[in-house]
Amino acid sequence: MICDRFDLTLECIRRFYVQEHSPLYDALTRYKDFFDLFIDFSGYVDFFMLQDFVDGKEQIKFSLPFDNFYRTPLPQTVDEYNQYRTHTVELMNSRNKRIFDSLYT
């Protein structure tokens, strides 16, 4: 249901912290002790420097339209694939810069 998409995985983690069901809820629950280390989703995002993947209201910036896990996670057209690829690469580049800046500034 998520096909290893990072944005969908992050949405599952966000929902875990607010105790909402997701395709990964049972698996994440097995690792509750790990997730408890970060207190909440904000702590998780901060620790792993994932700020570029969420907006100011801690909502996920999805790489493709999101419909509560009903839609197939795979791009359905070449245009969707290009949108997904571009958005994902931009987010990763932003995160890489954030990490670099935290080390050298």
Q: Domain tally for the chain?
A: 1
pTM (predicted TM-score): 0.92
Residue numbers of the domain that contains 63: 6-104
With respect to residue 62, please indicate whether it lies within any of the assigned structural domains.
Answer: yes
Residue of 63, 46, 52, 48 whose CA lies nearest to 93? 52
With respect to residue 37, please indicate whether it lies within any of the assigned structural domains.
Answer: yes
| 23-61 confidence digits (pLDDT tens) | 999 999 999 999 999 999 999 999 999 999 999 999 999
With respect to residue 25, please indicate whether it lies within any of the assigned structural domains.
Answer: yes
| 52-102 confidence digits (pLDDT tens) | 999 999 999 999 999 999 999 999 999 999 999 999 999 999 999 999 999
With respect to residue 1, please indicate whether it lies within any of the assigned structural domains.
Answer: no
Residues 6+ apart with CB under 8 A from 29: 16
